[in-house]
Amino acid sequence: MYDLSVITNWIHELLLSVMPGWLATTVECVAIGVALLLVYALLALFYIYFERKVCAAFQCRLGPNRVGPMGLLQSFADMFKMLIKEVIRLKHIDRFLFALAPYLVIIASMLSFAVLPWGNGLQILDFNIGIFFLIAVSSIGVLGILLAGWSSNNKFTLIGALRSGAQMVSYELSIGLSVLTMVAFAGTMSVTGIVEEQKDLWFIFSGHIPAIIAFVIYLIAGTAETNRGPFDLPEAESELTAGYHTEYSGIHFGFFYLAEYLNLFIVSGVATLLFFGGWMPLHIPGWDGFNAVMDFIPSVVWFIGKAIALSFVIIWFKWTFPRLRIDQLLNLEWKYLLPINLFNLVLMVLVIVYGLHF
C-alpha cells in the first residue's frame, strides 16, 4: 500500500527549504483549506448528479441528459444558477441569526469532513480523539437548523426546526452509541488507529454479530441524522413545504443544499471508517495473491468508492420508503434503537473480553 504521507512530507520539506517554518505551516493550511473546499464542492456536485441519476433509474426515467454528455454538466449549471440568484432580504426576521444559520450548518459539515480518512497518510486532522471530535462538531449542525427555523419568523420553518431538533438530538444518541461500540472494539478513538486495526479484516467481518447490529443501527440513525427520507420530516415537502429552509434563497439556500449532500457523504464516510476499513483495501486472510492485487488500487479510490456505495444504499432508502410520522420516528429511536444499542454495547464488550471475534 503506497503511503501518501511521503508526498505530503516531501511538500513540507520543499516549503521549509524556501521559507521559515511558520510561513510554511500557514501556506500548507491555506493550501489544504482550498483543496478541502474544492473537494467539498466537487463532491457535492457529484452527489447531486448521482442522486438524480439513481432516483431516475428507480423511477423509470432518464434523469438529467441535456446539459453536457449524459447530463454531466447539469449540476454545474445548477450551481451557477444558485450562485447568481438574488439573496432575498426579508422583513420581520432576525437578520443576524438568519444569516448565521447556513454558515453554522456548513461549518459543521466541513469540520467533520476534515476528519475523514481520505487515504493512506491523507488525514487532514489526525489526533487521538478523532472520532470524538467528529461527533462533537457534527452536532453543531442542528444548532444551525434550529436557528434557521426560529429566525425566519415563519410557522412552517418553526415546526420544521422543532421537529429537526427533536429528531437530531434523539438520533445522535444512537449514532454515539453505535460509534462507541466500534470504538470499544477498535480500542482507540484515533481515526488512523481505527483504520490500522482493520488491516487484516474489516470490522464488519471481524466484529460479526455486534458489529453488524451496530452497522444497521448506524445506517438508520445516520439517515435520520442527515434528514433524508424516510426521515426527512424537518423538510417534509408535502407537510411543511421546505421546512426550516423555506425562507432561504440564493447562496444561503445553496449552503443548506450543499451541507445536506455532504452530510450524506460524511455519514457514509464514517460508516466506511468504522465498519469497512476506511481506506484499507479488501483483505482476506490467507489469500495473499488476492490481497496483493487489492493493494494496487489506490487508497483514495477505496475510501471514496466505499463511501459512495454506502450512499447509494441511503439514497435507495429515500426513493423507496414513505415518510414516518414524528411520533413513530421518536418511538423508533427511544423504544427500539436505543435499548438494542445498549444491549449491543454489552454484547460487544463480552465479545471483546472473551475474544469471540476473528
Partner 1 sequence: MANIQEKITKLFPDATFEEGEILLVNIPDAKWHDLAKCLKEDADLHFDYLVTIVGMDWKDKFGCVYYLRSTTDNVQISVKVTTEDRENPMLHSVSDVWNIATVYEREVYDFFGIIFINNPDMRRLFLSIDWKGYPLRKDYDMSPENNPVPRENERQEDVTYTYVENENGKVEKKTITLFEPNDFVVNIGPQHPATHGVLRFRTAVDGETIKKIDFYSGYIHRGIEKLCEGLTYPQTLHFMDRMDYFSGHHYHHALCMVYEKALGIEISRRAQVIRVLMDELARIASHCLFLGTYCMDLGATTMLFYTLRVREQILDIMERTCGARMTFNYGCIGGVMQDLHPDFVKDVKALLAVLPANIKEYNKLFIGNVIAKGRLENVGSLSREDAISYGVTGPSGRASGWACDVRKTHPYSIYGELDFEEVVYTEGDSMSRTKLRIAEMEQSARIIEQLIDNIPEGEYCVKVPKVIKLPAGHWFQMVEGCRGVFGVYIESDGGTSPARLKLAPPCLPLANVVDHLTRGSKIADLITIGGSLDYIVPDIDR
Binding site for partner 1 (CB under 8 A): 55, 58-61, 155-156, 159, 162-163, 229-230, 232-233, 236-239, 241, 319-328
**DSSP 8-state symbol, 247:** T
Choice between 81 and 155, CB closer to partner 1: 155
Long-range CB pairs of 172-175, under 8 A, 24+ apart, other chains included: 172/135, 172/139, 172/142, 172/221, 172/225, 173/333, 173/338, 173/341, 174/217, 174/218, 174/220, 174/221, 174/224, 174/333, 174/337, 174/338, 174/341, 175/135, 175/218, 175/221, 175/222, 175/225
CA distances from 99 to 95, 138, 162, 163, 182 (A): 6, 20, 19, 21, 38
Choice between 66 and 155, CB closer to partner 1: 155
> Least CB distance from residue 272 to partner 1, whole Å?
26
Q: Give the burial class of 76: count Cβ atoms within 10 A of its Cβ; 0-12 exposed, 13-18 middle, 19 or more buried.
A: middle
What cell numbers appear for 216 in the block?
444497521
Choice between 48 and 134, CB closer to partner 1: 48
> Least CB distance from residue 318 to partner 1, whole Å?
9
> Least CB distance from residue 243 to partner 1, whole Å?
12
Choice between 132 and 319, CB closer to partner 1: 319
> Least CB distance from residue 241 to partner 1, whole Å?
7
> Least CB distance from residue 332 to partner 1, whole Å?
10
Choice between 44 and 324, CB closer to partner 1: 324
**Grid-cell match 420581520, residue found:** 92
> Least CB distance from residue 157 to partner 1, whole Å?
11
Choice between 190 and 311, CB closer to partner 1: 311
Choice between 131 and 315, CB closer to partner 1: 315
Rounded Cα–Cα distance for residues 311 and 53 (Å):
13
Count of CB atoms situated within 10 Å of the CB of 280:
27
Q: Which residues contact 41 (CB under 8 A, 6 or more apart)?
A: 79, 258
> Least CB distance from residue 159 to partner 1, whole Å?
7
